[in-house]
Amino acid sequence: MAPPDLEATDPPMIDIAALIERQNPRRMLVRLVLISWLVTFFDGFDLNAIAFAAPYLSAQYAFANSELANIFIAGGAGSLLGGLVFGALGDRIGRRRAIIGSVTAFGVLTLCHALCDRYWELLVVRFLDGVAIGGAIPLTWSLSVEYVPMRVRATAVTLIMLGYGIGVSAAGPVSLQLLPRFGWQSIFVFGGVASLASAVLLISLLPESLRYLAAVGASPEQLRKSLQWLTSDRAGPGNARLTFSEVPTSEKASWGPGALFEGNLRWVTPLLWLGFASSSMTSFFFTTWGPIMFESLGFTRSTAAWALSMNSLASGIGALALMRLTDRAGVLSLALLPLAAIPFLLAIGLTPVSPAAFIIMMGALQVFLGGSHYGITSIAGNFYPTPHRGLGSGWMSGMGKLGSILAPWLGGLLLGSLVPVRHTFLVLALFPAVLAMCAVVVGMLERTGRLRQAV
């Protein structure tokens, strides 16, 4: 006699998008931040090591300020191209593989600096290193916002980018220990070897984006593996059907920027580009010309290195103060810090101050300027859908790199002229004003409902 038919039951369905939004992100966020710091720390260290090597290069090879400016500009130009290329590449081959490739490349190319002994060699290597370095950060933004709930996206990106600030800060003390003893090449050897070691760790630690996997139609096994990384107790039963209801799988990744101007994005994309470029102007001005500018004002090389390292930490303080406000109040809150920076820039530029007062005012200024730079970074990928998030973050980073290209040129022009060094702060006051204007307009679009964060 045949056994009775068993009532068919459908396997349970798990909506990954809903899980991400409902999760308590604290534990997962700590893991994501620490792994991402393997990218952002060495990105910041390797990109800015050249600023601390510059005085030694100038002394050994008699480089003029204009030649140093060209070396700085080459790195910025490479970073611009790297953001565009690697951003689109991450949408096609995955965030994880593109990030690991970028970190490996800039580790090798940072090492190559130590082999250069001609001006043109430094220009070429600096450009290629910039391409690799410029690709890592926007992909890390994209990966991070795709793993955390929308309510903490700005916080996640800010915490991840603090690794960049710490890397910049570390370059000063490390340079003081290495450069006087072993020469300018030593800081590039240190940065290159450490970056390659971090790339090895990323191979085993870095997950692929769940939203990216769903958008490209990945297998249930791939989704389940990344879901277990997100939170091991939510992978569900073995026969569960995994869905991602909010990801538009029909959209194709694009190499061109046309998708970034669809609908209301035609307003927000140019504003993000302009705001990030303006913020990058002040950020990279102090990063590239800071050591030389401080020496021109009478500070010793050691004092300049430590002061600039402390300024990077001040930027982190501003970022931490702003990140939760941005998540709760929206983009409009990003205008607060650049507006607060303007009076400090004008005061330093117009009023003679003592060396001690100058360092204190610079620290306060960096809380506002650095915090606002982190702030505009924290919303880089928020308004672009998953199939174009790497592209959107990459193009924003690339356009922002226009600021990193123009900043060395502007610094070389101003510091090479007869204009007193402190009057350069008057020129720099223009850029936080532009950033504040962009934040206000994007914030108003968000407040009126014409602009929403994408999943």
Helix (H, G, I), strand (E, B) or coil at 14: strand
Task: Report whether 344 contacts 364 (CB < 8 A).
Answer: yes
Residue 304 has pLDDT above 70, yes or no: yes
> From CA 44, how far away is CA 404, in angstroms rounded?
13
Q: Where are the domains of the chain?
A: 13-447
Report the chain's mean pLDDT, rounded to a whole number: 81
Q: Which tokens belong to 364? A: 């306060």
Residues 6+ apart with CB under 8 A from 38: 103, 198, 201, 202, 205, 206
Rounded mean pLDDT, 236-253: 56
- Among 1-10, 52-61, 226-235, the minimum mean pLDDT is found in 1-10
Handedness of CA 270, 271, 277, 280 (dihedral sign): negative
Q: What is the pLDDT of residue 1?
A: 47
Proportion of the chain above pLDDT 70, given as a percent: 89
Tell me the pLDDT tens digit for each residue of 58-72: 877 877 777 887 888
pLDDT band at 150 (very low <50, low <70, confident <90, very high): confident
Task: Report whether 397 contacts 53 (CB < 8 A).
Answer: no
Alpha helices (H) in 23-64, listed in sequence order = 26-61
13-447: CATH topology is Growth Hormone; Chain: A; (1.20.1250)
Tell me the pLDDT tens digit for each residue of 383-438: 777 777 877 788 888 787 788 778 877 877 777 777 777 788 888 899 999 999 99
Task: Report whether 107 contacts 47 (CB < 8 A).
Answer: no
Helices (H) and strands (E) in the chain, counts: 16, 2
> From CA 337, how far away is CA 371, in angstroms rounded?
7
Residue 7 has pLDDT above 50, yes or no: no
Rounded mean pLDDT, 243-271: 69
Residue 315 has pLDDT above 70, yes or no: yes
